[in-house]
Structure 1
């Protein structure tokens, strides 16, 4: 099969979950055209000058430095004035959990244009984004394709958010969790617990509103919003995934990395090289949050006990939660009590 005839590849993850690394490995393949964050709200105002200055070396995000700008693949897709042709800012976080039956012809047309642009160059289209865990079913129904989901230890993922604070104010990544949770159809219980209400107006206005509301909130509130979105997102994403990659294992276990590279080749026809992948450096606990207590409270608020204890893809999520939020041997097992588990750890068969 020629590269341009391969199905599109979608890489789905949360923020700070190694999606930039995965994207860079696909981008390194000559017959691939890999789009970076094609749902990002900044695409609505993108300019050639913006493309040129947005590089890993200057981002401050600790991304692998490949030299080229992140958004170079959009250069030929720009409108004359500014912005990527066909892109609308609402694509970013509006309807983050997009029902697979929903009609959105503008979003379909935009994605069709990205896929067609790659194929016109004889290359396989790859779209990697942190904003799509809740819409994989919608994408699959319209574009088929291969869907790869990345998952990370939730505590380390949130600490990565927090580590980027330059002052005691929430980062962009934290603020997005508040916006997503406040608008999630199945997130009402968690939103009520944190005093969140759905915002109005454009995305920047909604982000500004939650920044104003939560700029001095304790770090545990930020983690609570994050863990709610984490659980809701993976409960939506995992059943739709063709392949799940545990990024905590990818750099720590060479055999695991080789196995996942083989599976990617079988699934997509693209041969990627993970030989340079290194273990994720752990972030120390600088704020001393009762992580398990906050997670249990959110499980309760969202009514997720049946979902988390179900057999099948949810077992992967349970395994990550159980590993990141271990039981305290000195206290009764509140986590296991809430989830109705008799044993410790993950249910049998959980694997990523």
Structure 2
């Protein structure tokens, strides 16, 4: 664990639909913090200062009400006569799971360092909330040892269901397509190949050309996808992220427990204060597990009985790999708890 005040900022690594935005909003509420929302988001390549006021949460997002639009903190990094955040490249938006940093990582490092250093010069603590960093977490920890690397962990059934319901009810395919895009772009990595086989994922029958073209192919693929394959793809990415992050995290944020235990919320606050000397308030966290149980009847197009065995296969694979014990907590046990909870929750899903 870090000494009090040692960390020069926070990298908050989260997956889509993990409640990471709510956790980030708790840091953003602090006057001593400058909280950057998704610094790897492709929208930053073309963002104009005039666009920012319109970027508010939609009522279907499930995101908390914000005191300022999502990307407000980037305004000083956009020239009035240009578009795009200084230093950002669209290639940053594709997560990678290679064992060593790729050729473009130095550019990504320089971009994040600029945001970090300029924020520190203003006397603020930078907090970055990522949704595209879990595969690159070891690279980022090597490049930024001075910040606290916190990982938001939610059970895969609830996390998947959040995106599946948006796809099912509002024809939003993004969160169902994203795991296929990640797996397809990384399918030549040995660890990714293994996880695809363990989970029995069927990838889109499309060649991996450009990132944008493959993303479009994945979105088209999932418009008629069966729920079984969608969940298998999501679980594969969840497993890869857990493998890469559990050993690297300075802090694991269990959002399932956060809304159930005031004691845990208080302890988490103390852990953050001990490493970064700030005190976010997590007391208003929703009980996401109870919410998921209440929404089980809404899950259509996927039968929990058909995916029951995949959780056991996932757990067996996870414990066979090194890298499941984060500092200060039993990461392996937490991952096991998440997979057991996912099996329990998904058993209530029925196709019709």
Q: TM-score range by the shorter chain?
A: 0.7 to 0.9
Alignment partners' CA distance in 2, 1:300 and 1:324:
13
Does the 8 Å CA contact 1:12/1:130 hold for their aligned counterparts? yes
Does the 8 Å CA contact 1:235/1:317 hold for their aligned counterparts? no
Query: RMSD of aligned C-alpha atoms?
Result: 2.9
Pairwise mapping of residues 66-215 of structure 1 onto structure 2 (< 5 A)? 66-79=66-79, 80-93=81-94, 95-103=95-103, 104-144=105-145, 145-165=147-167, 169=171, 171-184=173-186, 185=189, 186-189=191-194, 190=196, 193-196=201-204, 199-215=207-223
Matching residue of 1:64: 64
Matching residue of 1:240: 248
Matching residue of 1:249: 257
Matching residue of 2:336: 318
Aligned pair partner of 1:216 in 215, 224, 237? 224
Q: Deviations over 1:299-335 (max 9, x none)?
A: 7599825536986333321221012214999xxxxxx
Matched, 1:287 2:287: no
Q: CA deviation at 1:170?
A: 5.7
- Residues 179, 76 of structure 1: alpha-carbon distance in 2 compared, 3 angstrom cutoff: same
Q: CA deviation at 1:181?
A: 1.2
Matching residue of 2:350: none
Alignment partners' CA distance in 2, 1:261 and 1:97:
30
Q: CA deviation at 1:197?
A: 6.1
- Residues 127, 100 of structure 1: alpha-carbon distance in 2 compared, 3 angstrom cutoff: farther
Greater CA drift, 204-213 or 146-155: 204-213
Q: CA deviation at 1:216?
A: 0.6
- TM-score by length of structure 2 reads 0.83
- TM-score by length of structure 1 reads 0.83
Unaligned runs of 5+ in 1: 330-352
Q: CA deviation at 1:165?
A: 2.3
Tell me the secondary structure at the aligned position of residue 127 of structure 1: strand
Bigger relative contact order (CA 8 A; separation at least 6): 2
Matched, 1:42 2:43: yes
- Residues 302, 195 of structure 1: alpha-carbon distance in 2 compared, 3 angstrom cutoff: farther
The count of corresponding residues between Structure 1 and Structure 2 is 325
- Residues 10, 314 of structure 1: alpha-carbon distance in 2 compared, 3 angstrom cutoff: same
Tell me the secondary structure at the aligned position of residue 271 of structure 1: coil
Does the 8 Å CA contact 1:182/1:197 hold for their aligned counterparts? no
Does the 8 Å CA contact 2:135/2:241 hold for their aligned counterparts? yes
- Residues 295, 301 of structure 1: alpha-carbon distance in 2 compared, 3 angstrom cutoff: same
Matched, 1:304 2:314: no
Q: CA deviation at 1:143?
A: 0.9
Does the 8 Å CA contact 1:152/1:320 hold for their aligned counterparts? yes
Tell me the secondary structure at the aligned position of residue 247 of structure 2: helix
Greater CA drift, 5-14 or 235-244: 5-14
